[in-house]
Amino acid sequence: MDNAQTQKVERNLIGLSPVDYKGKPSTLCPGCGHNTIANQIQAALFELGVVPEMVAKFSGIGCSSKSPNYFLDRSFGFNGVHGRMPTLATGACFADRRIKLIGISGDGDSASIGMGHFKHVIRRNIPMVYIIENNGVYGLTKGQFSATSDLGLELRHQGKNYLPPLDLCLEALISGAKFVARAFAGDVKQMRELFKAAFVHDGIAVIDVISPCVTFNNQDQAMQSYTWGRENESPIQDITFIPKAQEIFVEDFQEGTYREVKLHDGSILLLKKIDRDYDPTSKTAALDLLTESYEKRYLTTGLFYIEKAEQSIIDIFDLGREPLNRLPAERIRPDLAALEQINAALE
Protein backbone atom coordinates (compact mmCIF):
# COMPACT_ATOMS: atom_id res chain seq x y z
CA MET A 1 0.00 0.00 0.00
CA ASP A 2 1.37 3.43 -0.87
CA ASN A 3 1.27 6.44 1.40
CA ALA A 4 -1.83 7.95 -0.19
CA GLN A 5 -3.84 4.77 0.45
CA THR A 6 -2.81 4.54 4.08
CA GLN A 7 -3.66 8.15 4.85
CA LYS A 8 -7.17 8.47 6.26
CA VAL A 9 -9.26 11.11 4.50
CA GLU A 10 -11.22 13.28 6.88
CA ARG A 11 -14.99 13.00 6.30
CA ASN A 12 -17.84 15.10 7.65
CA LEU A 13 -21.39 14.17 8.68
CA ILE A 14 -22.52 13.71 5.09
CA GLY A 15 -19.42 11.76 4.03
CA LEU A 16 -17.70 14.58 2.12
CA SER A 17 -14.04 15.53 2.45
CA PRO A 18 -12.54 19.07 2.64
CA VAL A 19 -11.72 18.80 -1.09
CA ASP A 20 -15.46 18.80 -1.87
CA TYR A 21 -15.66 22.35 -0.51
CA LYS A 22 -12.75 23.78 -2.47
CA GLY A 23 -12.90 26.30 -5.27
CA LYS A 24 -10.53 27.25 -8.04
CA PRO A 25 -6.94 28.27 -7.20
CA SER A 26 -6.83 31.89 -6.05
CA THR A 27 -5.54 34.58 -8.37
CA LEU A 28 -5.42 37.16 -5.55
CA CYS A 29 -2.12 38.47 -4.15
CA PRO A 30 -0.39 35.96 -1.83
CA GLY A 31 -1.14 37.00 1.75
CA CYS A 32 -4.38 38.84 0.88
CA GLY A 33 -6.86 38.52 3.74
CA HIS A 34 -9.58 37.58 1.26
CA ASN A 35 -7.82 34.23 0.66
CA THR A 36 -7.99 33.39 4.37
CA ILE A 37 -11.70 34.19 4.41
CA ALA A 38 -12.37 31.87 1.45
CA ASN A 39 -10.45 29.10 3.23
CA GLN A 40 -12.42 29.55 6.43
CA ILE A 41 -15.76 29.52 4.60
CA GLN A 42 -14.74 26.16 3.15
CA ALA A 43 -13.71 24.89 6.58
CA ALA A 44 -16.90 26.11 8.26
CA LEU A 45 -19.20 24.53 5.69
CA PHE A 46 -17.22 21.29 5.74
CA GLU A 47 -17.53 21.15 9.53
CA LEU A 48 -21.25 21.90 9.37
CA GLY A 49 -21.77 19.17 6.76
CA VAL A 50 -23.55 21.47 4.31
CA VAL A 51 -24.40 20.00 0.91
CA PRO A 52 -22.45 22.20 -1.56
CA GLU A 53 -25.19 21.90 -4.19
CA MET A 54 -27.64 23.54 -1.75
CA VAL A 55 -25.61 26.76 -1.61
CA ALA A 56 -25.56 29.75 -3.96
CA LYS A 57 -22.78 32.37 -3.86
CA PHE A 58 -23.24 35.98 -4.96
CA SER A 59 -20.87 38.90 -5.34
CA GLY A 60 -20.35 42.25 -7.02
CA ILE A 61 -17.05 43.71 -8.24
CA GLY A 62 -13.69 43.92 -6.48
CA CYS A 63 -10.90 41.58 -5.41
CA SER A 64 -13.26 40.56 -2.60
CA SER A 65 -16.04 39.86 -5.07
CA LYS A 66 -13.72 37.48 -6.93
CA SER A 67 -13.34 35.30 -3.88
CA PRO A 68 -16.50 33.15 -4.35
CA ASN A 69 -14.48 31.53 -7.15
CA TYR A 70 -12.08 30.25 -4.53
CA PHE A 71 -14.51 28.18 -2.46
CA LEU A 72 -17.37 25.76 -3.13
CA ASP A 73 -16.85 24.95 -6.77
CA ARG A 74 -19.85 22.62 -6.68
CA SER A 75 -22.28 25.35 -5.59
CA PHE A 76 -24.28 27.79 -7.68
CA GLY A 77 -22.85 31.26 -8.17
CA PHE A 78 -23.53 34.62 -9.77
CA ASN A 79 -20.98 37.42 -10.04
CA GLY A 80 -22.97 40.57 -10.76
CA VAL A 81 -22.26 44.28 -11.15
CA HIS A 82 -20.66 46.58 -8.60
CA GLY A 83 -22.71 47.02 -5.41
CA ARG A 84 -25.68 44.98 -6.57
CA MET A 85 -24.97 41.63 -4.95
CA PRO A 86 -27.91 42.02 -2.51
CA THR A 87 -30.36 42.33 -5.38
CA LEU A 88 -29.19 39.07 -6.92
CA ALA A 89 -29.43 37.30 -3.59
CA THR A 90 -32.94 38.68 -3.05
CA GLY A 91 -34.06 37.28 -6.41
CA ALA A 92 -32.53 33.90 -5.62
CA CYS A 93 -34.25 33.83 -2.23
CA PHE A 94 -37.63 34.22 -3.91
CA ALA A 95 -36.82 31.69 -6.63
CA ASP A 96 -35.76 28.85 -4.37
CA ARG A 97 -36.12 29.23 -0.63
CA ARG A 98 -34.34 25.90 0.03
CA ILE A 99 -30.95 27.18 -1.16
CA LYS A 100 -28.61 28.76 1.40
CA LEU A 101 -27.27 32.10 0.19
CA ILE A 102 -23.79 33.51 0.75
CA GLY A 103 -23.04 37.06 -0.38
CA ILE A 104 -19.44 38.27 -0.54
CA SER A 105 -18.77 41.96 -0.86
CA GLY A 106 -16.06 44.53 -0.30
CA ASP A 107 -16.00 47.82 1.58
CA GLY A 108 -16.19 49.63 -1.76
CA ASP A 109 -18.88 47.29 -3.02
CA SER A 110 -21.04 47.64 0.13
CA ALA A 111 -20.14 50.95 1.79
CA SER A 112 -19.77 53.10 -1.33
CA ILE A 113 -21.68 52.18 -4.49
CA GLY A 114 -23.83 49.53 -2.81
CA MET A 115 -24.72 51.26 0.46
CA GLY A 116 -28.42 51.59 -0.36
CA HIS A 117 -28.63 47.95 -1.34
CA PHE A 118 -26.74 46.91 1.80
CA LYS A 119 -29.29 48.71 3.97
CA HIS A 120 -32.34 47.41 2.15
CA VAL A 121 -31.32 43.77 2.02
CA ILE A 122 -30.96 44.00 5.81
CA ARG A 123 -34.29 45.78 6.23
CA ARG A 124 -35.91 43.00 4.21
CA ASN A 125 -34.18 40.34 6.31
CA ILE A 126 -33.28 38.18 3.31
CA PRO A 127 -32.06 34.89 4.81
CA MET A 128 -28.41 34.96 3.81
CA VAL A 129 -24.88 35.22 5.13
CA TYR A 130 -23.51 38.63 4.14
CA ILE A 131 -19.71 38.82 4.44
CA ILE A 132 -17.85 42.08 3.84
CA GLU A 133 -14.15 41.59 3.14
CA ASN A 134 -13.17 44.97 4.49
CA ASN A 135 -9.66 46.23 3.64
CA GLY A 136 -10.34 49.96 3.74
CA VAL A 137 -9.40 50.50 0.10
CA TYR A 138 -10.54 49.74 -3.43
CA GLY A 139 -7.99 46.95 -3.96
CA LEU A 140 -8.97 45.95 -7.48
CA THR A 141 -8.63 49.48 -8.86
CA LYS A 142 -5.24 50.01 -7.20
CA GLY A 143 -5.92 51.23 -3.71
CA GLN A 144 -8.09 54.36 -3.66
CA PHE A 145 -9.63 55.32 -0.29
CA SER A 146 -12.99 53.71 0.42
CA ALA A 147 -15.79 54.75 2.77
CA THR A 148 -14.22 52.60 5.52
CA SER A 149 -10.68 54.00 5.18
CA ASP A 150 -9.35 55.30 8.44
CA LEU A 151 -9.42 59.08 8.95
CA GLY A 152 -5.92 60.47 8.41
CA LEU A 153 -4.67 57.33 6.63
CA GLU A 154 -1.80 58.19 4.31
CA LEU A 155 -1.14 56.03 1.27
CA ARG A 156 1.78 56.49 -1.10
CA HIS A 157 -0.26 57.10 -4.24
CA GLN A 158 -3.39 58.61 -2.65
CA GLY A 159 -2.10 61.15 -0.14
CA LYS A 160 -4.12 61.68 3.02
CA ASN A 161 -7.70 60.63 3.73
CA TYR A 162 -9.65 63.57 5.19
CA LEU A 163 -13.00 61.82 5.53
CA PRO A 164 -14.24 59.82 8.55
CA PRO A 165 -14.96 56.12 7.99
CA LEU A 166 -18.32 54.38 8.13
CA ASP A 167 -18.65 51.45 10.51
CA LEU A 168 -20.53 48.70 8.68
CA CYS A 169 -21.55 46.89 11.88
CA LEU A 170 -23.17 50.07 13.18
CA GLU A 171 -24.88 50.54 9.82
CA ALA A 172 -26.12 46.94 9.91
CA LEU A 173 -27.44 47.30 13.45
CA ILE A 174 -29.40 50.46 12.81
CA SER A 175 -30.80 48.95 9.63
CA GLY A 176 -32.31 46.13 11.68
CA ALA A 177 -29.89 43.20 11.31
CA LYS A 178 -30.44 40.50 13.94
CA PHE A 179 -26.98 38.96 13.58
CA VAL A 180 -24.06 41.36 13.52
CA ALA A 181 -20.43 40.39 14.00
CA ARG A 182 -16.91 41.49 13.21
CA ALA A 183 -13.94 39.23 12.61
CA PHE A 184 -10.31 39.75 11.71
CA ALA A 185 -8.69 37.68 8.96
CA GLY A 186 -5.68 37.21 11.24
CA ASP A 187 -7.86 35.38 13.81
CA VAL A 188 -9.11 32.34 11.93
CA LYS A 189 -10.71 30.33 14.71
CA GLN A 190 -13.04 33.13 15.74
CA MET A 191 -13.89 33.83 12.10
CA ARG A 192 -14.74 30.18 11.38
CA GLU A 193 -17.00 29.85 14.44
CA LEU A 194 -18.81 33.05 13.47
CA PHE A 195 -19.32 31.76 9.92
CA LYS A 196 -20.86 28.57 11.26
CA ALA A 197 -23.26 30.46 13.52
CA ALA A 198 -24.13 32.87 10.69
CA PHE A 199 -24.91 29.95 8.43
CA VAL A 200 -27.52 28.49 10.74
CA HIS A 201 -29.01 31.87 11.66
CA ASP A 202 -32.55 32.30 10.34
CA GLY A 203 -32.42 35.66 8.54
CA ILE A 204 -29.64 37.93 7.39
CA ALA A 205 -26.31 37.53 9.21
CA VAL A 206 -23.82 40.34 8.61
CA ILE A 207 -20.13 39.76 9.27
CA ASP A 208 -17.66 42.55 8.67
CA VAL A 209 -14.26 40.88 8.30
CA ILE A 210 -11.20 43.11 8.52
CA SER A 211 -9.19 41.66 5.66
CA PRO A 212 -5.81 43.30 4.98
CA CYS A 213 -4.89 44.33 1.44
CA VAL A 214 -1.19 43.48 1.51
CA THR A 215 -0.54 45.40 -1.70
CA PHE A 216 -2.21 48.78 -1.08
CA ASN A 217 -3.07 49.16 2.61
CA ASN A 218 -0.71 47.21 4.80
CA GLN A 219 1.42 49.84 6.52
CA ASP A 220 1.84 49.12 10.20
CA GLN A 221 -0.21 52.15 11.29
CA ALA A 222 -3.15 51.37 8.96
CA MET A 223 -6.18 50.11 10.92
CA GLN A 224 -6.88 47.40 8.36
CA SER A 225 -3.31 46.04 8.27
CA TYR A 226 -2.14 42.73 9.76
CA THR A 227 0.27 44.45 12.13
CA TRP A 228 -2.25 46.92 13.49
CA GLY A 229 -4.94 44.24 13.71
CA ARG A 230 -2.69 41.78 15.56
CA GLU A 231 -1.57 44.43 18.02
CA ASN A 232 -4.95 46.05 18.57
CA GLU A 233 -7.60 43.38 18.11
CA SER A 234 -9.81 43.23 21.15
CA PRO A 235 -12.16 40.22 20.95
CA ILE A 236 -15.15 40.42 23.29
CA GLN A 237 -15.64 36.66 23.46
CA ASP A 238 -13.90 33.40 22.75
CA ILE A 239 -16.49 31.75 20.52
CA THR A 240 -17.26 28.05 20.15
CA PHE A 241 -20.01 26.77 17.90
CA ILE A 242 -21.63 23.51 18.97
CA PRO A 243 -23.77 21.80 16.33
CA LYS A 244 -27.14 20.58 17.53
CA ALA A 245 -26.12 16.95 17.17
CA GLN A 246 -23.18 17.33 19.55
CA GLU A 247 -23.44 17.11 23.30
CA ILE A 248 -22.16 20.16 25.16
CA PHE A 249 -18.87 19.43 26.80
CA VAL A 250 -16.50 22.20 27.71
CA GLU A 251 -13.38 21.59 29.68
CA ASP A 252 -13.02 23.70 32.81
CA PHE A 253 -16.56 24.96 32.45
CA GLN A 254 -16.94 27.70 35.01
CA GLU A 255 -20.32 29.05 35.84
CA GLY A 256 -20.54 32.73 35.00
CA THR A 257 -17.68 32.89 32.54
CA TYR A 258 -19.66 31.40 29.65
CA ARG A 259 -22.78 32.57 27.95
CA GLU A 260 -24.85 30.12 25.92
CA VAL A 261 -26.84 31.38 22.97
CA LYS A 262 -29.27 28.94 21.41
CA LEU A 263 -29.51 29.26 17.65
CA HIS A 264 -32.48 28.73 15.40
CA ASP A 265 -31.67 25.10 14.48
CA GLY A 266 -30.89 24.05 18.05
CA SER A 267 -27.12 24.56 17.81
CA ILE A 268 -25.44 26.45 20.60
CA LEU A 269 -22.94 29.27 20.60
CA LEU A 270 -20.75 29.22 23.64
CA LEU A 271 -19.38 32.68 24.32
CA LYS A 272 -16.56 32.77 26.80
CA LYS A 273 -16.26 36.17 28.38
CA ILE A 274 -12.91 37.80 27.71
CA ASP A 275 -12.58 41.19 29.28
CA ARG A 276 -16.04 42.54 29.90
CA ASP A 277 -19.56 41.44 30.71
CA TYR A 278 -21.30 41.69 27.45
CA ASP A 279 -24.85 40.77 26.51
CA PRO A 280 -25.05 40.00 22.77
CA THR A 281 -28.86 40.02 22.91
CA SER A 282 -28.92 43.70 23.86
CA LYS A 283 -28.98 46.07 20.91
CA THR A 284 -28.19 49.01 23.17
CA ALA A 285 -25.08 47.23 24.45
CA ALA A 286 -23.99 46.58 20.87
CA LEU A 287 -24.54 50.21 19.86
CA ASP A 288 -22.62 51.42 22.91
CA LEU A 289 -19.71 49.06 22.30
CA LEU A 290 -19.43 49.88 18.61
CA THR A 291 -19.70 53.61 19.24
CA GLU A 292 -16.96 53.39 21.86
CA SER A 293 -14.64 51.36 19.64
CA TYR A 294 -15.28 53.74 16.75
CA GLU A 295 -14.51 56.80 18.84
CA LYS A 296 -11.48 55.33 20.61
CA ARG A 297 -10.18 53.65 17.46
CA TYR A 298 -9.79 50.09 18.61
CA LEU A 299 -10.65 46.94 16.73
CA THR A 300 -13.40 45.09 18.59
CA THR A 301 -14.27 41.68 17.20
CA GLY A 302 -16.86 39.06 18.09
CA LEU A 303 -20.60 38.59 18.02
CA PHE A 304 -22.08 42.01 18.78
CA TYR A 305 -25.75 41.25 18.42
CA ILE A 306 -28.01 38.29 17.94
CA GLU A 307 -31.77 38.12 18.15
CA LYS A 308 -34.33 35.71 16.81
CA ALA A 309 -36.18 37.50 14.04
CA GLU A 310 -39.93 37.27 14.27
CA GLN A 311 -40.32 37.07 10.52
CA SER A 312 -38.05 36.69 7.56
CA ILE A 313 -39.10 37.84 4.12
CA ILE A 314 -40.27 34.28 3.43
CA ASP A 315 -42.90 34.54 6.18
CA ILE A 316 -43.90 38.09 5.29
CA PHE A 317 -44.68 37.09 1.71
CA ASP A 318 -45.99 33.71 2.76
CA LEU A 319 -43.85 31.83 0.25
CA GLY A 320 -45.02 28.24 -0.06
CA ARG A 321 -42.72 25.34 0.67
CA GLU A 322 -42.49 24.52 -3.02
CA PRO A 323 -39.75 26.62 -4.66
CA LEU A 324 -41.10 29.00 -7.30
CA ASN A 325 -38.40 27.98 -9.79
CA ARG A 326 -39.71 24.40 -9.71
CA LEU A 327 -43.30 25.28 -10.63
CA PRO A 328 -44.24 24.33 -14.20
CA ALA A 329 -45.53 27.06 -16.54
CA GLU A 330 -49.14 25.89 -16.30
CA ARG A 331 -49.08 26.52 -12.54
CA ILE A 332 -47.64 30.02 -12.72
CA ARG A 333 -49.52 31.37 -15.75
CA PRO A 334 -53.11 32.39 -15.09
CA ASP A 335 -55.56 30.55 -17.37
CA LEU A 336 -57.76 32.42 -19.86
CA ALA A 337 -60.73 32.70 -17.52
CA ALA A 338 -58.55 34.17 -14.75
CA LEU A 339 -56.98 36.65 -17.18
CA GLU A 340 -60.41 37.78 -18.39
CA GLN A 341 -61.47 38.28 -14.80
CA ILE A 342 -58.36 40.41 -14.13
CA ASN A 343 -58.94 42.47 -17.30
CA ALA A 344 -62.59 42.96 -16.43
CA ALA A 345 -61.60 44.26 -13.01
CA LEU A 346 -59.39 46.87 -14.64
CA GLU A 347 -62.02 48.22 -17.02
Ligand X SMILES: Cc1ncc(C[n+]2csc(CCOP(=O)(O)OP(=O)(O)O)c2C)c(N)n1
Residue 140 CA from chain centroid, whole number: 20
Residue 242 binds what, of ligand SF4, Mg ion, ligand X, none (CB under 5 to 8 Å, by partner type)?
A: none
Quote the CA–CA distance of 71 and 54 in Å, as a whole number: 14
Quote the CA–CA distance of 126 and 91 in Å, as a whole number: 10
Q: Is 32 a residue that touches ligand SF4 (CB under 6 A)?
A: yes
Total chain residues near ligand SF4 (CB under 6 A): 12
Residue 214 binds what, of ligand SF4, Mg ion, ligand X, none (CB under 5 to 8 Å, by partner type)?
A: ligand SF4
* Of 185 and 313, CB closest to ligand SF4: 185
* Of 86 and 106, CB closest to Mg ion: 106
The single residue among 47, 67, 88, 107 that binds Mg ion, judged by CB under 5 A, is 107
Q: Are 171 and 145 in contact (CB under 8 A)?
A: no
Name the residue with the smallest CB distance to ligand SF4.
Answer: 139
Q: Which of 216, 237, 219 is nearest to 304 (CA)?
A: 237
Q: Is 135 a residue that touches Mg ion (CB under 5 A)?
A: yes
Residue 141 binds what, of ligand X, ligand SF4, Mg ion, none (CB under 5 to 8 Å, by partner type)?
A: ligand X
The single residue among 14, 51, 74, 141 that binds ligand X, judged by CB under 6 A, is 141
Residue type, 102: I
Q: Is 106 a residue that touches Mg ion (CB under 5 A)?
A: yes
* Of 34 and 119, CB closest to ligand SF4: 34
Single out the segment in contact with ligand SF4 by CB under 6 A; choices: 24-32, 85-93, 234-242, 324-332.
24-32
Residue 109 binds what, of Mg ion, ligand SF4, ligand X, none (CB under 5 to 8 Å, by partner type)?
A: ligand X
**DSSP per-residue string spanning 84-101:** -HHHHHHHHHHH-TTSEE
Quote the CA–CA distance of 177 and 304 in Å, as a whole number: 11
Quote the CA–CA distance of 90 and 160 in Å, as a whole number: 37
Strand pairing report for 268-273 and 258-262: antiparallel
Single out the segment in contact with ligand X by CB under 6 A; choices: 17-25, 105-113, 274-282, 312-320.
105-113
Give the other-Cβ count within 10 Å of 302's Cβ. 22
DSSP 339: H
The single residue among 146, 190, 301, 312 that binds ligand X, judged by CB under 6 A, is 146
Q: How far is the CB of 171 from ligand X (least distance, A)?
A: 15
Quote the CA–CA distance of 142 and 206 in Å, as a whole number: 26
Q: Quick check: helix, strand or coil at residue 239?
A: strand
Residue type, 264: H
Residue type, 333: R
Single out the segment in contact with ligand SF4 by CB under 6 A; choices: 156-164, 167-175, 209-217, 273-281.
209-217
Residues in touch with ligand X (CB under 6 A)? 61-64, 82, 106-109, 113, 133, 135, 137-141, 146
Residues in touch with ligand SF4 (CB under 6 A)? 28-29, 32, 34, 63, 135, 139-140, 213-216
